[in-house]
Amino acid sequence: MMLLDAGPHHLVFLHTILQGDYWLFSRINQAWSAPFLDFGFLFMREQELWYPFYLFLFVFATLNFRKKGWLWSAYFIMTVIISDLISSGLIKNHLVFRLRPCANPAWADTIHFIANYCPASSSFTSSHACNHFAMAVFLYHTLKHTSPWWRLVFVWAFLISYAQVYVGVHYPLDVVCGAIVGSLIGWGTSRVFKLQAGTLHLPSHNSSHA
């Protein structure tokens, strides 16, 4: 397993990237913080907050697309499972270990830590970023023909990912790499779904009265 830190054992370019990562973390976590942001980002990253949104997605898909909607729901769930297996199961447990900022003694006196707890797992990659960008890319590529508003899911994924850095449980590099991995997964599952089910369109009123 690779140990990801700013030690001298890394190549110069990776050492430079990590130093820039630490600098950006200190900006987001400390310099750019405010009490109202503390509440907003801490609240936003809670999983339970988004249960109604996920329920809406399943109801929206099954009511509008019938059998394809059930298939879409299965692919959506599969996208989340794959992204979590790759981020949490493969990368964190077998490939890369990075001490989280909230557990790093180097940040003990300066970190603005407001999360409920500091996980003991590796910081790289961010599973929140991986999962939410996987969902966002899948949602956009499968539902973009039904409404232009689906592009806002990228704002949703970004804010939740940004919150991971803000509360002190991840570095920006963890989030960026997690977002890249998740986006590739979401793109892949959306491609397979569209090959199997085709492009989804909302049913027209004319066809319903024919």
The answer to whether 175 and 162 are in contact (CB under 8 A) is yes
Rounded to whole angstroms, how far apart are CA atoms 52 and 43? 15
**What is the model's pLDDT at position 209?**
43
14 band by pLDDT with thresholds 50, 70 and 90:
confident
Give 47-73 pLDDT, tens digit per residue: 899 999 999 999 999 999 999 999 999
**What percent helix, strand, coil does the chain show, rounded to 5?**
70, 0, 25
**What is the model's pLDDT at position 7?**
63
List strand residue ranges (DSSP E) for 28-101, in order. Answer: 96-97
* Average pLDDT for 143-147: 96
Q: Which of 130, 116, 121, 124 minimizes the C-alpha distance to 103? A: 121
Give 116-139 pLDDT, tens digit per residue: 899 999 999 999 999 999 999 999
pLDDT at 32 over 60: yes
